Structure 1
């Protein structure tokens, strides 16, 4: 697929950026962490995708090596056993929670006709790297171990996430390959962070003026406290990316993370992994998972993900009897 660069902001993205400027909202990196978290929630509450009705939404906890991990489980219509999507929210491993992706998770459950498990992993600065990674891995294993209880098919597990959550989804896939599972059939990475060194054209050209700035990225990294050379922080630097599940990657033209997300996809493709990379022209970071209520391309991206997942789960389905 050819990845284009238009050089022109999408009108809705430009309008949203202007509205933030007009409202006088200070940069998140200039706030205390608690205030940044509250502001992020408020912005998503106003601009995020409204929730759809699903058959059941349940808040539960998964067992992890460091304590309980809150999860929210979305179950669609039907009798199952369903495919399952384990979703990790974005927010630089510092801000965000299940609420910021509540609307998208309802849409994905309905479009993919799958159970969605949204994971509230621990974050910095209270819980620095690799706490988020440990929780993401543990929650994925918990889902597989509780397949019958959750009415899901353990042979149709996929992972997904946006931004920092895309990073976690990629890391979970690498870990599952190397540590005996659970076997995954796909990974969906929305504008993922894949390289902490971030020496790319897009990071230099898009580091100011498009919401996710160079300074905000540095603020996130300071609080997350990860070693940039550790593959669990920079999956692009993993020694081997062969044998991974298929990847569906979304990037945005005016996102500082654009190039590293696409570079990860190309590295997977070179290693023989089935990869789709979709760049959304004129768009900015967070346009899909957090701003789809005010950006048509954001909703379109989520609809495309839902269609991709529905096809993926159908391809992975085989009849079986459940005890």
Structure 2
């Protein structure tokens, strides 16, 4: 059965690659093109796990416009994968309140000091007296859209699985704040947490970095920046499907050019709003594989098979190994970009969050794993 699914998927991928350019020019009114939608649905039908496909179908049912074809203002108003998860939860008669989905973790909104002023943030705290290790977390959204609320599932899950405080920050976004504003905020947030962790039951000697997608890039880049600034070395870095390079012609970009909820054209749209010149694409903060990665703490990379960014994770793993940085990477079959925060309804997300928690705990307590 698996071999049959693989052969069908291969045929669809061949068709998808052949029709990518045609689909990219279709449906100029902002609606997803009929060709790309059909290919995405057919691919998901044979490649995505059943629970993952349920979320994809729920998202499609919310009728989002193709982000790469609309304005930033409209893109920020589109239904999100988190909205789709809530649709699935309600259909199952399950609660949608985060506190009920992840018991034992409380959250409160506050502000932290960024590079150019205060930034909105959310602090997730496990039950207990503490002090707890702390994870500085950066959400995804291509540095342009989304916020800590959209990525609540991932941050809250990390707090639960790692038994750690998580500080999720809304860094400045493009195009209002072009590259490298978000990277400056990431370093400033890490520094703020080091200085203030004790005030919210955190252990300032045990601070890690984490993020998803664009935020996964920020987590690694912040570790590099912290090293260069002579700050305390992070206990660990967790990068979930990170952006690690700027070519759109990797194996996974071609294979998943028309994937949902992230496709090749969307990434081009994000980067176009983020940068001001072609030269910035070569900057090692964006192209992590070209950065000096030596001396970084252990890194964990999580990837999804049905994701244009899967090859980014593999390339980053190789670059870290070449720099003698301890690194582990897991790529989860049958799931797409954004799956990590869907633990309430997607089994692979539960497994990935558990793995992330184990890796973070090992970073906080390295002797316990020896």
Structure having greater relative contact order (Cα 8 Å, sep ≥ 6): 1
1:293 to partner: Cα distance: 3.5
Partner of 1:124: 174
Partner of 2:311: 259
Question: Residues 35-90 of structure 1: CA distance to partner in whole angstroms, max 9, x if unpaired?
Answer: 3222244x413416862234542222112231111111111122222110010000
Question: Residues 196-222 of structure 1: CA distance to partner in whole angstroms, max 9, x if unpaired?
Answer: 123311111111133211111111111
From the two aligned structures, give the one with the greater helix fraction. Answer: 2
Aligned match for 2:290, one of 223, 237, 249: 237
Is 1:228 aligned with 2:281?
yes
Check whether the contact 1:82–1:152 (CA below 8 A) recurs between aligned residues: yes
Structure 2 runs not aligned, ≥5 long: 10-46, 87-95
Which is higher, the Rg of structure 1 or of structure 2? 2
Structure 1 runs not aligned, ≥5 long: 318-323
Question: Residues 251-275 of structure 1: CA distance to partner in whole angstroms, max 9, x if unpaired?
Answer: 1112111011111012112221111
Quick one: structure 1 residues 251 and 32, their matched pair in 2 at CA, closer, same or farther if it must change by over 3 Å? same
Aligned mates of 1:316, 1:80 — CA distance in 2:
20
Aligned mates of 2:52, 2:115 — CA distance in 1:
41
Aligned match for 2:244, one of 172, 176, 194: 194
Aligned match for 2:53, one of 6, 11, 14: 14
Question: Residues 172-215 of structure 1: CA distance to partner in whole angstroms, max 9, x if unpaired?
Answer: 01111111113211100100001012331111111113321111
| Segment of structure 1 superposing worse, 56-65 or 151-160 | 56-65
Partner of 2:66: 27
SS at match of 1:256: coil
Is 1:272 aligned with 2:310?
no
Is 1:185 aligned with 2:235?
yes
Matches within 5 A, 1:299-310: 299-310=350-361
Aligned match for 2:82, one of 31, 44, 56: 44
SS at match of 1:140: helix
> What root-mean-square deviation, in Å, do the aligned CA atoms of Structure 1 and Structure 2 show?
2.1
Question: Residues 86-106 of structure 1: CA distance to partner in whole angstroms, max 9, x if unpaired?
Answer: 100000001111101223322
Partner of 2:258: 208
Partner of 2:19: none
TM-score (norm: length of structure 2): 0.78
